[in-house]
């Protein structure tokens, strides 16, 4: 068990490295242990991660030949988006989950990749597979045209990326046998055993669970037009619901209830309203708030220490809140890898750095680019229609 606690601004944590992890979804020969970094994209290299094995008390996994079946009921399912721009963050997030998990082999990652990303889903899958040769994962292709006509402009262009809306469709994209999933943003690191979050109870008929913040001023998330319309603002002012803010970058989702309740459709309806009448300024968060705020299973705040990227305009530094921490989240404009490369890091960025597997180029900086790349490597994926 790994503990990560913060008291009066003093951070203390113990890192436990587990032994080697067994096979996962892969199709290319594993490299020798001393063969150096993996280079899949031009000048884009990651060191191969250490391997982590299950402890003695972990479940025995069901396999189909050499592959772990995603339908194994003992698995912990995690969904994340995967794109070239945030790839460095995604790799660090996966590394952090495995490093602190008691049963790392029992974690199955579902990566959602955009159909027209500068690096193709096939290339991204190859890079993940090379960096984590033993990882159990599957790549699902997200068709951006499914939401492009529903997205409205936001206060920050990055929030308009169609991949930000992929979380709305996890119930459609993931295998029907996957009845629960943890959704994680790409700018997080987990410093506790993810199984603790996985086993959280969703009471009653609740569909999602997340840390809630009930003292937040809700009016700032929506425009005056929204609050002046009783039909729209009634989503929050009805006696049945006391709305509380929650961050959608960390959620436990019951996919059975999600599918039965057609929650993708409910979110889309509010996005259609936004296209006709501007009722909010942020990107994918407000529709989630409109559908779920007031009906979320409240989880311990330690599972989303968010806002570490600063505000959505200036990206200024922020400090951690006192108390125990299980997950650090660089939501906001500033990302730790960008600030570290620029040699202008915030203090909290050094907490992200130990999980970074990226190997910089000769200039010591990370430069994403939009060249087209091709790979003949095996690709396990499913399409979203």
User: What one-character-per-residue DSSP string does 199-268 give?
Assistant: T----TT--EEEEEETTS-GGGGS-HHHHH-HHHHHHHHSTT----EE-TTEEEEEHHHHHHTTHHHHHH
Q: Output the six-digit token pair for 217.
A: 């001023």
Distance of CA 77 to the CA centre of its chain: 12
Distance, CA of 166 to CA of 144 (rounded, Å): 9
> Quick check: 237 pLDDT over 90?
no
Question: Of the segments 111-120, 155-164, 233-242, 337-346, which one has the largest average pLDDT value?
Answer: 337-346
Query: Which tens digit of pLDDT belongs to each residue from 371-382?
Result: 333 222 223 333
Q: Give the residue, 161 or 130, on which the prediction is more confident.
A: 130
Among 372, 305, 315, smallest CA distance to 346 is for 315
Close Cβ partners of 377 (under 8 Å, ≥ 6 residues apart): 27, 28, 122, 123, 125, 126, 129
Q: Give the residue, 202 or 366, on which the prediction is more confident.
A: 202
- How confident is the model over 204-227, as a mean pLDDT? 89
DSSP state of 304: -
Distance, CA of 58 to CA of 6 (rounded, Å): 29
First-to-last C-alpha distance (Å) of the chain: 41
- DSSP letters, 358-380, are EE--TTS------------S---
**pLDDT averaged over the chain?**
80
Query: Which tens digit of pLDDT belongs to each residue from 132-189?
Result: 999 999 999 988 777 766 665 544 454 557 788 899 999 999 999 999 999 999 999 9
Q: Which residue's structure tokens are 């330690």?
A: 302
> Quick check: 91 pLDDT over 90?
yes
* pTM, entire model: 0.82
> Quick check: 362 pLDDT over 80?
no
Q: Give the pLDDT band of residue 28 (cuts 50, 70, 90).
A: very low
Q: Give the pLDDT band of residue 39 (cuts 50, 70, 90).
A: low
Q: What are phi and psi of 63, to 5 degrees?
A: -130, 150
pLDDT the model gives residue 60: 87
- C-beta of residue 193 within 8 angstroms of C-beta of residue 2: yes
Distance, CA of 252 to CA of 303 (rounded, Å): 11
Q: Give the pLDDT band of residue 322 (cuts 50, 70, 90).
A: confident
Q: Which residue's structure tokens are 């960025």?
A: 349
Distance, CA of 207 to CA of 256 (rounded, Å): 9
- DSSP letters, 107-144, are EEEEEEEETT-SS-HHHHHHHHHHHSTT-EEEEEEE-G
């Amino acid at each position: 068990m790994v503990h990560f606690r913060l008291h009066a601004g003093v951070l203390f944590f113990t890192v436990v490295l587990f032994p080697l992890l067994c096979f996962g979804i892969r199709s290319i020969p594993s490299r020798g242990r001393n063969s150096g970094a993996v280079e899949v994209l031009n000048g884009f290299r990651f060191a191969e991660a250490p391997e982590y094995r299950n402890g003695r008390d972990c479940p025995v996994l069901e396999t189909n030949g050499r592959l772990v079946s995603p339908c194994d009921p003992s698995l912990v399912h995690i969904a994340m988006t995967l794109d070239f721009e945030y790839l460095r963050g995604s790799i660090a997030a996966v590394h952090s989950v495995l490093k602190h998990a008691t049963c790392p082999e029992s974690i199955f990652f579902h990566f959602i990749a955009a159909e027209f990303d500068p690096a193709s889903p096939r290339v991204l899958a190859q890079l993940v597979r090379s960096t984590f040769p033993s990882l159990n994962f599957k790549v699902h292709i997200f068709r951006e045209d499914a939401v492009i006509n529903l997205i409205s402009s936001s206060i920050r262009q990055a929030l308009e990326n169609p991949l930000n809306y992929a979380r709305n469709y996890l119930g459609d994209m993931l295998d029907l046998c996957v009845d629960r999933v943890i959704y994680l943003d790409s700018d997080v690191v987990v410093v506790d055993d993810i199984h603790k979050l996985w086993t959280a109870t969703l009471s009653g008929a609740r569909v999602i669970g997340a840390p809630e913040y009930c003292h937040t001023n809700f009016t700032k998330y929506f425009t005056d037009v929204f609050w002046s319309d009783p039909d729209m603002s009634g989503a929050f002012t009805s006696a049945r619901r006391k709305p509380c803010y929650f961050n959608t970058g960390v959620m436990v989702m019951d996919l059975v209830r999600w599918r039965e309740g057609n929650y993708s459709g409910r979110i889309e309806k509010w996005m259609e309203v936004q296209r006709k009448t501007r009722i909010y300024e942020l990107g994918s968060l407000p529709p989630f708030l409109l559908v779920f705020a007031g009906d979320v299973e409240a989880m311990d705040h330690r599972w989303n220490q968010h806002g570490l990227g600063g505000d959505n305009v200036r990206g200024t530094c922020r400090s951690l809140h006192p108390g125990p921490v299980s997950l650090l989240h660089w939501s906001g404009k500033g990302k730790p890898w960008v600030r570290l490369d620029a040699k202008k890091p915030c203090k909290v960025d050094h907490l992200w750095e130990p999980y970074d597997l990226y190997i910089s180029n000769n200039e010591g900086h990370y430069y994403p680019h939009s060249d087209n790349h091709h790979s003949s490597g095996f690709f396990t994926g499913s399409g979203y229609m």
